[in-house]
Each structure stands twice: as C-alpha cells, then as structure tokens.
Amino acid sequence: MGATKESAEERTVPRILVVGGGYVGMYTALRLQQKLKLEPGGRSRAQSRVKSWAKPRSRAPEAEIVIVTAQPYMTYQPFLPEAAAGSISPRHVVVPLRRVLGRCRIVIGEAHRIDHSKRVATVSTLATEEEGSADIDIPYDQLVIAPGSVSRTLPIPGLAEHGIGFKTVEEAIGLRNHVLEQLDIASSTRDVEVRDAALTFVFVGGGYAGVEALGELEDMARYAARYYHNVTADDMKWVLVEAADRILPEVGDEMGRYAIHELRGRSIDIRLNTRLESCENRVAVLDDGSRFPTRTVVWTAGVRAHPMLDHTDLPRDDRGRVKGTATLRVEGTDNAWVAGDAGAVPDLNAGQERDAAGGVSGRVLLAPNAQHAVRQARVLADNIVATLRGEPVKEYRHKDAGSVASLGLHKGVAYLYGRKVKGYPAWFIHRAYHLSRMPTFNRKARVLAEWTLSGLFKREIVSLGSLEHPRAEFELAANDGRKPDAP
C-alpha cells in the first residue's frame, strides 16, 4: 500500500479508500466490514494464518478497506459537554478505530491531495514526517470522502490568540481545566480586575455545542464554587452571544424560548441578535456596545468544510462542500461517494424534483449533523456493496425523529415526533438517546457505569491543566530550578 508506484493491476481485489475516521468514516467502514468478504487488513500475518488454518475461506475476498485518518479514534461529539463537566471520562467518549475495525487497514495520517481522475490519494503519515521522506500515494478503486468539518472562524481581532474551540475531546478537557483554573486565579488574587476577568465566561454560538457546553460547565463551576472560601456562584458571569434571534433552532421556537428562560433563570446573560466584534487584550467587545473583560472566550459559531477538500478535483458548491447526489455519489462520478459535513447532499423530503443525473434543481440540502451522518453512512456502505456486486443503489431518505439538548445536569429540552419535552424528562431522553447511539457495547457499558458512579458520589473538581504540558516539571528540574525559557 505504501509503494508509490502500485497500480490497479497489481491489486487482486478492489480497494475502498475512506478518507476520515469520524461518524461517516467509521460507520461506513464498520458496515462494509460486516457485509463484505474482505482482504485481511487489520490483523497481523500470523493471526491471518491461524484464522486460515482454523477455518478455510468460503469465498474469495470482495474488497480491501483502507482508512486514512488524522486520529486513531472516532470522537462521539454529543458527549463532549459531559466530558468537559467531568460526568464522563475523556477516554470513554472516543472509539478506538483499530479495535472496532479489525479487518480494515488504518493509516494514521492526512490526505494532502486527491486526484480522482487518476484514482490516487497523496498522504503524509507519522512515519513520513519523522523520516522527512516524501508523501505516499495510495491508489484506490472506490473513494469515500468523509473528512468532516472544522470550526468556522471569522477575522475577529484577538480570536485566534484568545479563543477556545469546542469540537474535539482535547478542546473539551482543556476547557474544563481552564475554567477550574480561573476559579483558582480568582480565589488567589486581590486585584479586582483580574478577578472579574477570571470569573467572566463568554460563549459565542447558540447551537447545540455552545448551549450544551455552557450549560454543563456552568453547572460544574457552580458546584465547584462551594469549595472555595472566597468565590461564590453569584460572583461568576456567564454570557451567551448569538447572532440570530433564537437559540437551539432544531428543537423549535417554543422549546428554544424555554431554554432561554431556563438559562436566564440561572443568571446567564443571553444576548440575541448580537455579534462578537473583538476579543483583543482579553476584552470581549459586542456589537451592541457591551464590553466584558474576560479570560475565557469559547467559540462554537458553526462549522465549515474541511480544508483538505480544496486539494481535490471533485465538484464543490459555493460553501466548499463536495456535491453529492441523493444516492450519496459525488456528482459526475461512479466510484466516489460523500456524506456528512463534507457533502452537499439534497434533502429529498423537501419536495424537490430530480433530474436524469440524480441532481436536483433548487437544491435544499441536508443539515450537517450527527443524526444524518450516521444514517447516511449506512446507505453509503450499502450502495458501495451494491455497486461492487452489480446491484442497484438506493437513495438516502430520512425520517426526522426530532432533537434533544442538555442544559446541564437534570435539565434539558427535546422535540421528538412532534411532542415537546422539557426539564428532567428531556435530560433523561437526551442521555438515553445518545447512549443508544454510542458505538460498541464496551463504550456503552463504560459510560453507563460512570453515570451511575457520578450519581452516587460527588463531582470531581480537580484541574489537570499540567497534563497539557507533561514535560514542564522535568524541564524545570533539568534547568536547576529555572524556568525552561529563563536565560
């Protein structure tokens, strides 16, 4: 696979290349692994020989699956707020790809270029970076383009220097440590300005990520404050900034208004129809004239297409996403597929008319959310299997089950099958739904066990910010007690 001159003729079975190990990438590979007879990939040669000796193959392999991903795990993002609040261990909100996809080949690296006209992806791996060698070319027969998305940032002064994202497990745990560290700063200073800035937390974006992160972290900080002799929950200021006239649009207007009422009841300052103009010098400046000296600006204002898509020859829309048809094929191709945040896929439930090529006029596109990504992956995998076996493919249609959102411990809102739920029942539904969607029984059991233990014992309020700089203590010792950057 690593040879740069490998040709299609040298491969005995079709190669399916999956770019991305998120929702779409993992679930697609998992279903392909279940439905296809595969060329041995993830196991060692010794394991493959033992398996072959113990049980002869019933039929020839149908395909080989190669997954290129920057991380060796899939992050279940709906649980990031709970991981940030300490309700779930960080290692339990990620799914190790090598364990789940044992019959696939996992390549930890990044696809820098995809030349679909030649069926080749150019990839850098950890080995090529260490060796300083050239990137490797991975030929393929079927391509699944699923790199997901990245945070959509704006050219706001100070945002790059002081903003904190909330899209990865590393960011979630870093934010938890940061919030607890601010309480420590406020508790140990007599400078009123430093104290006020430390205890002011500004969240930008009123979607799922922003509201759930704010709700969980405010709950955690309120609880933690009882253990500080000179910091109370009333000393903290929490601000949610949203450019639209409502929050959580997915749960409907009524539940969105309830969420605002619930959060404001906890003294959270919600600014609708408001934008962040600057956060230079640790001061958040809003376009309504408000100024908040703060050491914490959490940015959750949407996502954009992954930059890797700029280096492909696949057709894209004006937002940078790859154009897909209702069958999840990339427009104008027979052996490239797209789904999830990276794809601009038509919503057939919006009453659009299809043309002969499978496209639609006046496209209404599917929302980039996890619910669609998981369902699309199932259809995408089935369509690849059908293509390999010469069978007809099917279109992706969905039935909207509704939406759920947590507002903190024992608080939530839900809109399910036309029914509105709020408070504790909505919070319980939120947990039950996402637990059911968590991949593998192993992870389900671990998350459930942690929820049970957290209900029996007190919250953990320890900041482990030093984990982000694990060599700091050793460097200090090696420099005879001097700071590593001291002259």
pLDDT at 52 over 50: no
In this structure, which topology does domain 163-301 adopt according to CATH?
A: FAD/NAD(P)-binding domain (3.50.50)
Count CB neighbours of 425 within 10 A: 11
Where is average pLDDT lowest: 286-295, 364-373, 466-475? Answer: 466-475
User: In which band, very low, low, confident or very high, does the pLDDT at 97 lie, cut at 50, 70 and 90?
Assistant: very high
Distance CA 341, CA 146 (A): 8
Output phi, psi for 278, to 5 deg.
Answer: -165, 150
> What pLDDT, on a 0 to 100 scale, did the predictor assign at position 17?
97
> What pLDDT, on a 0 to 100 scale, did the predictor assign at position 6?
56
Digit-coded pLDDT (tens) for 107-164: 999 999 999 999 999 999 988 877 778 899 999 999 999 999 998 888 999 999 999 9
Residue-averaged pLDDT of the chain: 87
Indicate the pairing of strand 200-204 with strand 296-299: parallel
Distance CA 148, CA 216 (A): 25
pLDDT at 479 over 80: no
CA distances from 450 to 82, 88, 431, 444 (A): 11, 6, 12, 10
Domain 15-41+60-150+305-389 matching CATH 3.50.50.60: the answer reads yes
Higher pLDDT, 478 or 52: 478
Distance CA 403, CA 115 (A): 38
> What pLDDT, on a 0 to 100 scale, did the predictor assign at position 315?
95
Digit-coded pLDDT (tens) for 381-419: 999 999 999 999 999 988 777 788 999 989 999 988 778
pTM, to two decimals: 0.86
Digit-coded pLDDT (tens) for 73-84: 999 999 999 999
CATH fold match for the domains 15-41+60-150+305-389 and 163-301: yes
Burial of 275 (0-12, 13-18, 19+ CB in 10 A): middle
Tell me the residue type at 448: L
> What pLDDT, on a 0 to 100 scale, did the predictor assign at position 368?
80
pLDDT average, residue stretch 187-202: 96
Burial of 113 (0-12, 13-18, 19+ CB in 10 A): middle
pLDDT at 36 over 80: yes
Distance CA 194, CA 182 (A): 10
User: In which band, very low, low, confident or very high, does the pLDDT at 169 lie, cut at 50, 70 and 90?
Assistant: very high
Token pair of 40 as six digits = 């041995």
For the chain, give the percent of residues with pLDDT over 90. Answer: 66
pLDDT average, residue stretch 345-352: 76
pLDDT at 53 over 60: no
Distance CA 82, CA 169 (A): 11
User: In which band, very low, low, confident or very high, does the pLDDT at 213 lie, cut at 50, 70 and 90?
Assistant: very high
> What pLDDT, on a 0 to 100 scale, did the predictor assign at position 25?
95
Of 375, 411, 380, 410, nearest in space to 394 by CA: 380
Burial of 295 (0-12, 13-18, 19+ CB in 10 A): buried
Spans of all domains in the chain: 15-41+60-150+305-389, 163-301
> What pLDDT, on a 0 to 100 scale, did the predictor assign at position 51?
42
State whether residue 99 is helix, strand or coil: helix
pLDDT at 360 over 60: no
Token pair of 479 as six digits = 């420099």
User: In which band, very low, low, confident or very high, does the pLDDT at 337 lie, cut at 50, 70 and 90?
Assistant: very high
pLDDT at 101 over 80: yes
pLDDT at 363 over 80: no
> What pLDDT, on a 0 to 100 scale, did the predictor assign at position 131?
79
pLDDT at 354 over 90: no
Token pair of 482 as six digits = 């001097």
User: In which band, very low, low, confident or very high, does the pLDDT at 482 lie, cut at 50, 70 and 90?
Assistant: low
Partner residues linked to 346 by β-bridges: 365
> What pLDDT, on a 0 to 100 scale, did the predictor assign at position 466?
67
Token pair of 451 as six digits = 């929820």
Question: Among the residues of 75-203, which ranges form H helices?
Answer: 80-85, 97-100, 126-131, 159-162, 169-188, 192-198
> What pLDDT, on a 0 to 100 scale, did the predictor assign at position 351?
56
Q: If phi over 0 gives left and psi between -120 and 50 gives alpha, with beta otherwise, what is residue 86?
A: left
State whether residue 337 is helix, strand or coil: strand
> What pLDDT, on a 0 to 100 scale, did the predictor assign at position 69?
95
Instruction: Yes or no: say if 196 and 182 are a contact pair by the CB < 8 Å rule.
Output: no
> What pLDDT, on a 0 to 100 scale, did the predictor assign at position 22?
92
> What pLDDT, on a 0 to 100 scale, did the predictor assign at position 415?
87
Report, in angstroms and rounded to the nearest whole number, the Rg of the chain calculated over CA atoms: 24
pLDDT average, residue stretch 350-372: 64
Instruction: Yes or no: say if 342 and 149 are a contact pair by the CB < 8 Å rule.
Output: yes
> What pLDDT, on a 0 to 100 scale, did the predictor assign at position 49?
39
CA distances from 277 to 193, 269, 284, 285, 369 (A): 21, 17, 8, 6, 27
DSSP code string of 26-84: HHHHHHHHHHS-B---SS-HHHHHHHHHHS--SS---BEEEEEESSSEEE-GGGHHHHH
pLDDT average, residue stretch 193-201: 96
Strand locations in 307-429 (E): 322-323, 336-338, 343-344, 402-408, 411-416, 419-422
Digit-coded pLDDT (tens) for 222-269: 999 999 999 999 999 999 999 999 999 888 889 999 999 999 999 999
Tell whether the torsion through CA atoms of 17, 21, 25 and 30 is positive or negative: positive
pLDDT average, residue stretch 160-181: 93
Count CB neighbours of 102 within 10 A: 14
State in Å, rounded, how far the first CA of the chain is from the last one: 48
